[in-house]
Amino acid sequence: MKNFTLGFLSVLILMIIAGGAYYLGLQKSVPVTDKISITPSVIDKEPLAVTPNPTYQVKPKIDVSEQIKSAIASKNTQALEGYMADTVQVKLEGSECCGTITKAEAISQLSYLNPAVNWNFDPANPILINLAKTVPNYYGSGWIVGVASNEYLASFKLNGQNKIEAYNLASTYKLLIQ
């Protein structure tokens, strides 16, 4: 009888375990539906800390024409070295100088303008307007042109990389305007 009781209890325990497993299986397979609460919940009054996206700083575009004007007016032509192409077409009006020369030579040639004073790069200047009409290929559209109060003249042309690719100098603008 002892074996019978032991067998019966074993079967009973197995059935309880199987029934429990079946019940738990049903509980997990039934889809859970969330109910929306009509009562408002408490909202934290502190704002969430938001981490801003990293912003990329764009370097401001340097106005090369303003740098040229400033360097010529201040006689600090060394400052133009960074704005020059590796080779520069240089023309000194009334002379055979210079043709295509290196950047270093082009900087050196700008000493020609040392006696010049009170530069005017205003495109509305009547002298510059007259030069643009008379010699448009060197003093017209696309050129940065300035005239000094003592008649010196300079014009600069930039390439596609915003570098000085050519310039023209004259001891007097009257060499070009009769």
Question: In the chain, what are the domain boundaries?
Answer: 64-175
Helix (H, G, I), strand (E, B) or coil at 90: strand
Q: 116 pLDDT exceeds 70?
A: yes
Distance CA 127, CA 174 (A): 10
Residue 8 is predicted with a pLDDT of 73
pLDDT band at residue 100 using 50, 70 and 90 as cut-offs: very high
More confident residue, 165 or 13: 165
Distance CA 50, CA 72 (A): 50
Fold of the domain spanning 64-175: Nuclear Transport Factor 2; Chain: A, (3.10.450)
Residue 163 is predicted with a pLDDT of 95
Residue 64 is predicted with a pLDDT of 85
Residue 12 is predicted with a pLDDT of 76
Task: Report the Cα 150 to chain-centroid distance in Å.
Answer: 39
Per-residue pLDDT of 49-99, as tens digits, reads: 656 555 555 555 568 889 999 999 999 999 999 999 999 999 999 888 899
Residue 86 is predicted with a pLDDT of 95
Is the pTM higher than 0.85? The answer reads no
Report the C-alpha dihedral over residues 68, 73, 78, 83, rounded to 10 degrees: 0
Best CA proximity match to 94, nearest among 177, 175, 3: 175
Counting DSSP H helices and E strands in the chain, the numbers are 5, 6
Q: 117 pLDDT exceeds 90?
A: yes
Residue 151 is predicted with a pLDDT of 94
pLDDT band at residue 126 using 50, 70 and 90 as cut-offs: very high
Per-residue pLDDT of 131-172, as tens digits, reads: 999 999 999 999 999 999 999 999 999 999 999 999 999 999
Residue 174 burial (C-beta neighbours within 10 Å; 0-12, 13-18, 19+): exposed
Q: 115 pLDDT exceeds 60?
A: yes
